[in-house]
Amino acid sequence: MKHALFFCVFSGSLITLAHANDAIHCRTIEDASLRLACYDQLYTPTESAEKVSNTSKAVDLEETYRANIENNTNNNKEAQIVFASNEDTVGKTPSRLQRLYDLERNQGGILTVREHEAMYLLPAWYRSSPNYHPFSPSRGQANNDIQQQQKRLETKMQISFKTKILEDLFKTRADVWFGYTQQSNWQIYNQGEKSAPFRNNDYSPELFITQPVKARLPFNGRLRVLGAGYVHQSNGQSRPLSRSWNRVYLMAGMEWGNLTIVPRLWARVDAKGEEDDNPDIMKYMGYGDVRIHYKIDDKHTLMSTLRYNPFKNRGAIQLGYTFPIKGRLKAYAQGFYGYGDSLLDYNRKQGGIGIGVLLNEW
Active-site positions read 232, 234
Q: How far is CA 198 from CA 143, 185, 189, 341, 344, in A?
A: 16, 6, 11, 15, 12
Adjacent-strand bridge partners of 266: 249
User: Count of CB atoms within 10 A of residue 333's CB?
Assistant: 15
Distance, in Å, from the CA atom of 206 to the CA atom of 180, rounded to the nearest integer, reads 6
Q: How far is CA 285 from CA 52, 118, 202, in A?
A: 68, 19, 15
Contact 140, 122 (CB under 8 A): no
Distance, in Å, from the CA atom of 246 to the CA atom of 271, rounded to the nearest integer, reads 9
Residue 184 CB contacts under 8 Å (≥ 6 apart), including other chains: 156, 157, 158, 198, 200, 201, 202
Instruction: List phi, psi (to 5°) of 254.
Output: -130, 150
DSSP 180-241: EEEEEEE-TT--SSS-S-EEEEEEEEEEEEEEEEEEEETTTEEEEEEEEEEEEEE--PPTTS
Helix then strand count (H, E) for the chain reads: 9, 14
Q: If residue 50 lies in a helix (H) or strand (E), which one and from where to where?
A: helix 46-54
Distance, in Å, from the CA atom of 39 to the CA atom of 15, rounded to the nearest integer, reads 11
Contact 69, 26 (CB under 8 A): no
